[in-house]
């Protein structure tokens, strides 16, 4: 993307952010599927300082101002909590929004696009794959901690930055529309995948039904906790900060633990074509849950704990369904780097579900054993979902 039109849009407006010193360079950064991300470098009295800039994808986030208001509330709350607890290094432990010179959390470009700037958190990296149970444990812990930090955010309900984001039922409606429209004539090549999605439709509604019927509580959650959205400290090899906050909004705790299970327990990247590598790893699952529950067990209700095994399968299913829908609709949503990229991603997610299914009883047993082991004295034992044993 170097020299891309987006980069020149950034260069035209970057001085409108409250950044001091001399601008030196800017370049594309990261591997997100949705926004365009750049990093810039500045000379501030002899010290090199970097900033992260993103052009918010307005096709996906139709109210960028609401996205930014959510992010400011959430990061402001986390910073206050860290300060109260006397924790230092706070600007590395949550994102910091850099305002425009006129005090806004965004700047509009010449084409009307919305840009935001964060402090660049130095000395961190992200993982595309976990390579040890220890990593799985600290990733789980960081999301449990994130949910805990936000459990007492007061005030108005956060905006739903993407309505029905994890609503399986509306995702299925859109999928059926794409199948019947078949605008690119791709339906014929994906009969197996379509059949898989149909067979799993009823089961896939389990989280959204529980939420709608009030059997599990609405909570503020991240909604996009794939592993590479968590920054890890280079020096201490511990999760430091949860990034990509665009989708922080009301949901259920299970969306987050589910997306983490989807991405941390597999031995292959989301777009791996060699499906023999796509395997659910029970040891990583166990470590991840230990980390997550060490933070979350104190506030989770029995009904939420009971659905943890289902959550990983569920979020893997919704991603498979979304990739397939985007493939059928012509790859408009996710950035693709090769032909059939979205179909590869869909097949990968289906393979992961099949690998989970092959180990289903072990998943249930492991979850129950961890909940029992970490159980606070007053808590009661986990009930597993009988319908899908």
Which residues contribute to the site for Mg ion (CB under 5 A)?
34, 224, 244
Classify 279 as helix, strand or coil.
coil
Question: 255, 226, 229, 227: which is closest to 242 by C-alpha?
Answer: 229
Our CB check for ligand GN1 shows the closer of 33 and 63 to be: 33
Distance of alpha carbon 223 from alpha carbon 229, whole angstroms:
11
In terms of phi and psi (left: phi > 0; alpha: psi -120 to 50; beta: otherwise), the region of 89 is left
The least CB distance from residue 261 to ligand GN1, in Å, is 12
Distance of alpha carbon 282 from alpha carbon 284, whole angstroms:
5
Tell me which residues in 108-127 interact with ligand GN1 (CB under 6 A). Answer: none
33 binds ligand GN1 (CB under 6 A): yes
Our CB check for Mg ion shows the closer of 244 and 286 to be: 244
Q: Per residue, what are the HEC states of 223-243?
A: CCCCHHHEEEECCCCCEEEEC
Our CB check for ligand GN1 shows the closer of 60 and 254 to be: 60
> Which of Mg ion, ligand GN1, none lies near 226, with the C-beta cut-off 5 to 8 A by kind?
ligand GN1
Our CB check for ligand GN1 shows the closer of 335 and 354 to be: 335
Our CB check for ligand GN1 shows the closer of 38 and 42 to be: 38
63 binds ligand GN1 (CB under 6 A): no
Nearest 5°: the CA angle 357, 363, 364 is 110
Residue 221, CA distances (Å) to 235, 287, 334 in order: 28, 21, 22
Distance of alpha carbon 234 from alpha carbon 348, whole angstroms:
30
The residue from 36, 256, 270, 295 that contacts ligand GN1 (CB under 6 A) is 270
Number of residues that bind ligand GN1 (CB under 6 A): 11
The residue from 19, 52, 60, 121 that contacts ligand GN1 (CB under 6 A) is 60
Sign of CA dihedral 227, 129, 51, 12: negative
In the numeric block, which tokens belong to residue 123? 């000395």
User: Which residue is closest to Mg ion by CB?
Assistant: 244
For ligand GN1, which stretch binds (CB under 6 A), given 69-77, 200-208, 222-230, 304-312? 222-230
Q: Give all strands (DSSP E) within the chain, no chain letters.
A: 22-28, 36-44, 47-55, 97-98, 107-108, 114-119, 124-125, 219-221, 230-233, 239-242, 249-251
The least CB distance from residue 243 to ligand GN1, in Å, is 9
Binding mask 302-341 for ligand GN1 (x = CB under 6 A): -----------------x----------------------
225 binds ligand GN1 (CB under 6 A): no
The residue from 9, 17, 32, 220 that contacts ligand GN1 (CB under 6 A) is 32
Classify 55 as helix, strand or coil.
strand
Our CB check for Mg ion shows the closer of 85 and 337 to be: 337
**β-pairing verdict for 124-125 and 249-251:** unpaired
Give backbone dihedrals phi and psi of 162, rounded to 5 degrees, phi first: -135, 100
Our CB check for ligand GN1 shows the closer of 60 and 321 to be: 60
36 binds ligand GN1 (CB under 6 A): no
> Which of Mg ion, ligand GN1, none lies near 329, with the C-beta cut-off 5 to 8 A by kind?
none
The residue from 244, 272, 290, 326 that contacts ligand GN1 (CB under 6 A) is 244
Number of C-beta neighbours around residue 150 at 10 A: 19
* Site for ligand GN1, rule CB under 6 A: 32-34, 60, 224, 226, 229, 244, 247, 270, 319
């Amino acid at each position: 993307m170097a020299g891309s039109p987006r980069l020149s849009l950034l260069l035209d407006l970057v001085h409108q952010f409250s950044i001091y010193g001399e601008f030196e360079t800017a370049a594309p950064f990261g591997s997100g599927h949705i926004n365009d991300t750049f990093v810039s470098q500045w000379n501030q009295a002899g010290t090199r300082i970097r900033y992260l800039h993103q052009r918010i994808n307005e096709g996906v986030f139709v109210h960028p101002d609401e996205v930014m208001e959510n992010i400011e509330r959430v990061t402001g709350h986390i910073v206050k909590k860290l300060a109260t607890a006397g924790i230092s290094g706070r600007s590395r432990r949550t994102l910091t929004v850099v305002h425009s010179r006129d005090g806004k959390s965004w700047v509009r470009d010449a084409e009307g696009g919305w840009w935001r700037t964060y402090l660049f958190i130095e000395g961190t990296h992200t993982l595309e794959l976990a390579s040890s149970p220890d990593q799985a444990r600290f990733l789980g812990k960081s999301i449990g901690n994130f949910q805990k930090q936000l459990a007492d955010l007061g005030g108005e309900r956060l905006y739903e930055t993407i309505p029905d984001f994890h609503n399986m039922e509306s995702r299925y409606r859109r999928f059926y529309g794409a199948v019947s429209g078949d605008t690119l004539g791709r339906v014929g090549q994906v009969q197996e995948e379509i059949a898989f999605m149909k067979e799993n439709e009823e089961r896939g509604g389990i989280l959204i039904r529980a939420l709608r019927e009030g059997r599990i509580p609405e909570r503020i959650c991240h909604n996009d906790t794939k592993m590479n959205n968590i920054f890890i400290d280079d020096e201490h090899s511990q999760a430091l900060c949860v990034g990509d906050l665009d989708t922080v909004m009301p949901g259920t705790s299970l969306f987050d633990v589910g997306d983490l299970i989807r991405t941390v327990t597999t031995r292959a990247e989301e777009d791996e074509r060699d499906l023999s590598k796509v395997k659910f790893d029970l040891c990583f699952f166990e470590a991840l849950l230990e980390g997550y529950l060490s933070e979350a067990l104190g506030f989770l209700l029995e009904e939420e704990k009971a659905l943890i095994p289902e959550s990983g399968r569920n979020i893997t299913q919704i991603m498979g369904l979304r990739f397939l829908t985007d493939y059928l609709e012509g790859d408009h949503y996710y950035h693709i780097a090769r032909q059939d990229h979205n179909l590869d991603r869909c097949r990968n997610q289906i393979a992961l579900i099949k690998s989970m299914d092959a180990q289903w009883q072990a998943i249930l047993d492991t979850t129950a054993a961890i909940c029992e082991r970490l159980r606070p004295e007053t808590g009661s034992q986990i009930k597993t979902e009988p319908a899908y044993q």
